[in-house]
């Protein structure tokens, strides 16, 4: 069992204890450090020198892994695959690349197209309205000089 | 299922947005494209502004023609009054009489005389106005007035077509 790094092994606390000459705390710190060193040494020896190949093989053969798979593991995997997979092409468009039809691009194209169409129809309509207004101004002028037109409009 | 619904909402928003943009562009273009002529049409002397633009009048020409027009307006109003008087008199006599009486003959002659006067005055004004214009524009003005005023039964481009043929 590994020794937990406690208060005594904290270098800051060591510095503080040293500065205030807190000898009980300093001694506890030294003992903990000593235990940590010994434990590290023993572990290293166990795995490198004290255990031969047969023992290691036995240990490895007896090592049993029991993985705990979360219940939604498979679904998560498929979801991740689906996210990374390229979107299937619409059969209507054959083998064409329709990646530009993704939502933000589609929104941009639709708005640009809408703006252009609106402007185009607006220009046509304003041209017609201007033509009508021009004709009405012409009629107004004729009416202003022709008394018979005056009488007709009464 | 959730993704499909989300895509449907997106498509709906895109369609609504595109329609809104199209509508705004249409209304804006239409409003700003017709603003100039709408203002001219609303103005009290809009017809003179039409004349200025249609026949490329300079400021001097426009000022002279405006003066001519303001001098002609009372004459035109007076002729209008006379036409209405003679027409109502003729209408009354035609309704009252059952035969052509000397009184009815006189009313017909008077109506014809008023019409003749009107044509003379109007034609004189048209010539005076065309004299203020550049020769080409003056010619075009006479053609247009001929088709609109002197030969009203003919279609508006008849005189122009006849002149160009």
List chain B residues with CB under 8 Å of A147.
Answer: 76-77, 79-80, 83, 118, 122
Low-confidence ranges of chain A (pLDDT < 50): 1-8
Q: How far is A5 from chain B (nearest CA, A)?
A: 50
Residue B38 in this model has a pLDDT that exceeds 60: yes
Nearest to residue A111, comparing CAs of B151, B71, B88, B25? B25
Most distant pair of Cα atoms in chain A: their distance: 129
pTM to 2 decimal places: 0.58
Of residues A103 and B164, the one with the higher pLDDT is A103
Task: Compute the radius of gyration of chain A from its Cα atoms.
Answer: 45
Say how far apart CA B76 and CA B68 lie, in whole Å: 12
What is the pLDDT at residue B161?
Answer: 44
What is the pLDDT at residue B95?
Answer: 86
Say how far apart CA B124 and CA B138 lie, in whole Å: 14
List chain A residues with CB under 8 Å of B40.
Answer: 133, 137
Residue B154 in this model has a pLDDT that exceeds 90: no
Say how far apart CA A123 and CA A43 lie, in whole Å: 86
What is the pLDDT at residue A9?
Answer: 56
Residue B162 in this model has a pLDDT that exceeds 80: no
Calculate mean pLDDT across residues B39-48. 86
What is the pLDDT at residue A98?
Answer: 61
Cβ contact B26:A125 at 8 Å: yes
Assigned token pair, B4:
């499909």
- What are the residue ranges of helices labelled H in B1-101? 2-42, 46-54, 59-96
Calculate mean pLDDT across residues B118-139. 92
Say how far apart CA A136 and CA B35 lie, in whole Å: 15
What's the mean per-residue pLDDT of chain B?
Answer: 84
Chain A residue with Cα closest to B119: A146
Nearest to residue B129, comparing CAs of B59, B61, B56, B58? B61
Which A residues, 124 through 143, put their C-beta within 8 Å of a C-beta on chain B?
125-127, 129-130, 133-134, 136-138, 140-143
Tell me the pLDDT band of B72, cut-offs 50, 70 and 90.
very high
pLDDT tens digits, one per residue of A103-124:
788 888 999 999 999 999 999 9
Tell me the pLDDT band of B43, cut-offs 50, 70 and 90.
confident
Say how far apart CA B6 and CA B12 lie, in whole Å: 10
What is the pLDDT at residue A95?
Answer: 61
What is the pLDDT at residue A1?
Answer: 40
Percentage, residues of chain B above pLDDT 70: 87
What is the pLDDT at residue A117?
Answer: 95
Nearest to residue A121, comparing CAs of B33, B26, B16? B26
Tell me the pLDDT band of B163, cut-offs 50, 70 and 90.
very low
Cross-chain residue pair B22–A103, CB shorter than 8 Å:
no
Calculate mean pLDDT across residues B50-56. 91
Q: Does the beta carbon of B136 lie under 8 angstroms from any beta carbon of chain A?
A: no
What is the pLDDT at residue B57?
Answer: 92
What is the pLDDT at residue A92?
Answer: 52
């Amino acid at each position: 069992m590994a020794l937990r790094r406690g208060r005594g092994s904290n270098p800051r606390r060591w510095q503080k204890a040293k500065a205030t000459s807190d000898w009980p705390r300093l001694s506890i710190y030294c003992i903990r450090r000593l235990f940590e060193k010994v434990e590290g040494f023993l572990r290293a020896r166990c795995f490198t020198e004290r255990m031969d190949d047969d023992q290691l093989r036995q240990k490895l053969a007896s090592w049993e892994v029991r993985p705990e798979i979360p219940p939604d593991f498979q679904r998560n995997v498929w979801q991740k695959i689906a996210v990374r997979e390229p979107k299937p092409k619409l059969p209507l468009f054959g083998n064409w690349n329709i990646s530009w039809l993704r939502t933000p691009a589609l929104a941009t194209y639709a708005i640009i197209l809408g703006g252009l169409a609106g402007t185009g129809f607006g220009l046509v309509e304003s041209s017609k309205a201007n033509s009508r207004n021009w004709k009405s101004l012409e009629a107004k002028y004729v009416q202003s000089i022709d008394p018979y037109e005056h009488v007709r409009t009464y | 299922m959730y993704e499909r619904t989300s895509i449907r909402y997106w498509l709906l928003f895109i369609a609504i947005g595109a329609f809104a943009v199209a509508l705004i562009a249409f209304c804006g273009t239409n409003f700003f494209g017709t603003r100039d002529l709408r203002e001219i049409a609303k103005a009290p002397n809009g017809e003179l502004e039409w004349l200025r633009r249609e026949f490329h009048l300079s400021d001097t020409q426009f000022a002279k023609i405006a003066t001519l027009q303001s001098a002609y307006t009372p004459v035109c109003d007076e002729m209008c009054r006379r036409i209405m008087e003679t027409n109502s008199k003729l209408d009354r006599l035609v309704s009252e009489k059952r035969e052509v009486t000397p009184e009815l003959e006189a009313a017909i002659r008077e109506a014809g005389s008023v019409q003749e006067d009107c044509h003379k005055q109007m034609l004189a004004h048209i010539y005076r106005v065309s004299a203020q214009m550049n020769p080409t524009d003056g010619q075009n003005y006479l053609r247009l007035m001929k088709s609109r005023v002197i030969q009203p039964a003919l279609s508006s481009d008849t005189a122009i077509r006849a002149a160009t043929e």
